[in-house]
Homo-oligomer: A and B are copies of this chain.
Amino acid sequence: MRTFHHLTHDLPGKPPFVPPASPASEPHRRTRRDHATETAEDYVEAIAELEASRGECRLVELAKRFGVSHVTVNRTVSRLCKEGLAETAPYQPVSLTARGRRLANRCRKRHEVVLQFLVSIGVPAEVAAIDAEGMEHHVSPQTLRRFEAIASEKDAGCN
């Protein structure tokens, strides 16, 4: 993600051939940006759940949850700490900061809405669980509102 302008002195004689970057590239740029936050979102959500269900969140549990090695979890949690979303100390459990908790709550709600929406339109529960996991990070607030409305509509039996 980092840019390196420290060597780009922008000497006026030679514009270093900047690529034009069409407006149509916006959705892609957005999708890439989402990507960067996906991991953080998944992690804070998992941490919150584990704290709720077990009282504390240990790295091994996260590793099991995501199906990755504890090393990957360790590094990712370090990143979350640097970003001010989580806190931890060597050999101690992981906890969320206030910011992390807020993010976790938002993600949990969004996840639930997406999942219930998929189920409400007739997607089998197991498939819906998988799709929701992948889709949730790309659902905008506007779309989420529509999902919510439709899910509750169907729940009320108005179809």
Contact = CB atoms under 8 A, between A and B. Distances in A.
Given A28-B42, A122-B146, 20 more contacts: A19-B60, A19-B63, A19-B64, A20-B64, A22-B65, A24-B65, A25-B65, A27-B133, A28-B65, A28-B66, A28-B133, A30-B133, A121-B150, A123-B143, A124-B142, A128-B143, A130-B140, A131-B139, A133-B138, A138-B138
B135 A21 contact: no
A51 B97 CA distance: 50
Contacts of A122: 146
A137 interface: yes
A31 B42 CA distance: 11
Contacts of A69: 19
This chain: how many copies in the complex? 2
Interface in A64-116: 64-67, 69-70
What does DSSP make chain A's interface, helix, strand, loop or mixed?
Answer: helix
A59 B31 CA distance: 21
Nearest to A124: B142
Contacts of A130: 26-27, 30-31, 140
A40 interface: no
Given A22-B67, A29-B67, A138 B140 contact: no
